[in-house]
Structures are given as C-alpha cells and as structure tokens.
Amino acid sequence: LDEAATSEIASFACGLASDHAAVAAALTEPWSNGQTEGQINRLKTLKRQMYGRVNIDLLKARLVAAS
C-alpha cells in the first residue's frame, strides 16, 4: 500500500487503507454474498432492459424465461 500510495493508483490504495477491516474480512472469512449479489444484479439488469416497455406481465415472462 505504501508503494501504491505514490503511484497512479493512489486513490485505490487510499480506499483500501481506509477500509482495511472490511478488506481483511473479505479475504479471510469463509462465506460470501456473491450468489445473492449475482441474483440482484440479474434482476436489476432485466428491469433496466424492460424500462418503458409494455407492462408487468412482460417483465414476469422475462424473469421466468431467464431462470
């Protein structure tokens, strides 16, 4: 981090340093929210694609087809 603090990625290194506890926990804990975050991302992507289109029935059809 000290070396990165004086390079082009200084803001990234500063963010890692300020969130040191969270970064350490993410690297050492055996569990993750990855599966949940992936499902939320998939749902939000579908909602963005459907914005301004017909109605809720079409969105439901897309969700069922995507699963």
Mean pLDDT of the 10-38 span: 88
CB atoms within 10 A of CB 34: 8
Q: Cβ distance 42 to 18 under 8 Å?
A: no
pLDDT per residue as tens digits for the range 35-56: 899 999 988 988 887 776 667 7
Question: Domain limits of the chain?
Answer: 1-31, 33-67
Distances (CA, A) of 61 to 11, 21, 24, 52: 43, 42, 41, 16
pTM: 0.42
In 3D, which of 42, 41, 40 has the Cα closest to residue 65?
A: 42
